[in-house]
Amino acid sequence: MNASPARRLVINGRFLGRRATGVDRFAYETVRAIDELLSTKDPAVADLKAEILVPAALGQLANPFRHIPLRAAGQGHGLRWEQISLPRAAGGSLLLNLCNSGPLFCREQVTVLHDAAPVRVPDSYSRSFTAWYRLMAPCIGRVARRVLTVSEFSRSELRDAYGIPASKIGVVSESGEHMLRMRGTAAVPVDGGGACRPYVLAVGSMTRHKNFQLVADAAKLIGEAKFDIVVVGGGDPRVYGSGPDALPSFVRHLGYVDDEALTTLYRNAACFIYPSRYEGFGLPPVEALALGCPVIASRLPAVVEACGDAALYTSPDDPRELAALLERITTDTALRDSLRQRGSARTAQLTWRATAVKLLEEISPWLTSLKAN
C-alpha cells in the first residue's frame, strides 16, 4: 500500500555554517519552530517532508533539529554553492531561503528578503555587496514563486526599491521569545567594581546606520548623570573620542559579551537604547521587551510596527530628545513598570510558532505533492 502524498520542502541551510547574524537568528528560530510543529504532529505540517541542505565543504555539521534531516550536497560553499549547487540538489522541490538571498535562476523557490537596506543605507555596506543586492533582489522578485518579508514596512520597501509587486510579497513577523531560553549569568560587572547604579544598555556597532553616535552625543549633553550607560559590542573607536571630546565617565564600555551575559544585562537594565536609522523589523528591541527591559528606540516605521506602544520613541537625529528620555526613564519607576507590562503584552503576540505557521500558509500552494519514500 502506498504511503500518503507528501509535501516536500528543501531549506537552504547555508546559515548553519557561518557566524550568526540577525537574519540567521530568524532562520534558525523559524526552522526550530517548524521542527517543533513536526514533533507535535501539528495540522500545519500535515504530510510535510522537510530537509535542510548544506554545503558538503562544511564537513560534518551537527544537526540541531530532531525531525528535519540535514543533508550535505554540492561543491563549493557560500555564494557559489547557493547559486549553482543548491538548486541542483533541491531536485525540483520547493526551496525555502530564509536569509536575504537565493539562486537567481530557480523558479521553485520562496525567499525571505528582510529589508531594502543595501539600497536605502548603502554607506553601511561595501560597494560589491550593494551592487550584488541591486542585481539579486529584483531577480529573485521576478523568478521566485513567492517573496516573504518581516513587516508591512519592508513589504512597501521591497516594492519601491526592487520593483517587486506588493501582491507577490507575504509578511511573517519575528519574535524575541528565544531570549527566554537563556538562563543568564550570576553577575555582570557594569560599573568597574564600585557601588551599583542604575544603568541603561546600548549596543555598539561598526555599521553606520545603527547610529550609535546618537547615544554618544546624548551622553555628552546629560552632564552629571545619576545612571551609567553600559555599551556592549564593538563600534567605531572615533565615537568614543579622546581628550576634551571623550565620552563622560558614566559611559562604560564592556566590549563583547556572550548571549548569557547579555540576557542578564537586559534583565537588570533600566532601559535599552536602540538608535538605528533604518530597520526592516527591529529584533533587538523586541528581544529586550521579551526580557522585561523597557525600550527607547528610534521612531522608525518598522520598529513602531514591531513594538507598538510598548516602547518610547525618539528621533534618530535628536540627541537632546534622547537625553531627556534617558533622564526621565531612569528616575520614573512607574513609567518603567508600565513599559514592562506593555512589553509583556506585546511580545506575547509575537511567537516563533506563529511565524512558522504563517510561513507555511504562505508557501503551501507551491509545495510539491510527491509520494513519500
What pLDDT does 128 receive?
A: 95
Interval 266-284 mean pLDDT: 95
Give pLDDT, residue 370.
44
How many separate helices (H) and strands (E) can be counted in the chain? 14, 14
Query: What is residue 350's predicted lDDT score, i.e. its pLDDT?
Result: 96
Q: Which residues of 18-52 are buried (b: 16+ CB within 10 A; e: fewer)?
A: eeeebbbbbbbbbbbbbbbbbeeebebbeebbbbb
Nearest Cα residue to 13 out of 1, 5, 24, 2: 24
When pLDDT is cut at 50, 70 and 90, the band that residue 372 belongs to is very low
Percentage of the chain modeled with pLDDT above 90: 71
Domains in the chain, ordered, with CATH? 5-175+351-371 (3.40.50.2000), 181-348 (3.40.50.2000)
State whether residue 41 is helix, strand or coil: coil
Which pLDDT does position 194 carry in this prediction? 42
Flag whether pLDDT at 195 surpasses 80.
no
> Of 120-129, 165-174, 245-254, 304-313, which gets the smallest average pLDDT?
245-254
At 245 the pLDDT is 56
Q: Which of 132-141, 169-178, 251-260, 286-295 has the lowest mean pLDDT?
A: 251-260
Residue 368 has a pLDDT of 65
- Statement: residue 213 has pLDDT above 50: yes
Mean pLDDT, range 221-247, rounded to an integer:
72
Q: Using CA atoms of 353, 36, 22, 112 in order, give the dihedral in degrees to the nearest 10.
A: -70
Percent of the chain with pLDDT over 70: 90
Q: What is the reported pLDDT for 330?
A: 93
CA distances from 13 to 63, 123, 346 (A): 11, 29, 30
pLDDT of residue 257: 85
pLDDT tens digits for 133-166?
999 999 999 999 999 999 999 999 999 999 999 9
pLDDT value, residue 7? 87
Tell me what pLDDT residue 239 has.
57
pLDDT of residue 186: 64
Specify the range with the lowest mean pLDDT, choosing from 165-179, 184-198, 207-221, 251-265.
184-198
pLDDT digits (tens, 9 = 90+) for 361-370: 999 999 864 4
Q: What is the pLDDT of residue 4?
A: 55
- pLDDT of 1 above 80: no
Average pLDDT over residues 336-359: 97
Q: Give the DSSP H/E element, type plus range, for residue 72.
A: strand 70-73
Of 136, 97, 96, 102, nearest to 116 by C-alpha is 136
pLDDT band at 276 (very low <50, low <70, confident <90, very high): very high
The pLDDT score that the predictor gives to residue 335 is 97
Give 5 or 263, the one with higher predicted confidence: 263
**Calpha distance 60→223 (Å, rounded):** 55
pLDDT category of residue 193 using cuts at 50, 70 and 90: very low
For 30-43, what is each residue's pLDDT tens digit? Answer: 999 999 999 999 99
| CA angle at 351 for the pair 347 and 357, rounded to the nearest 5° | 150
Mean pLDDT of the chain: 90
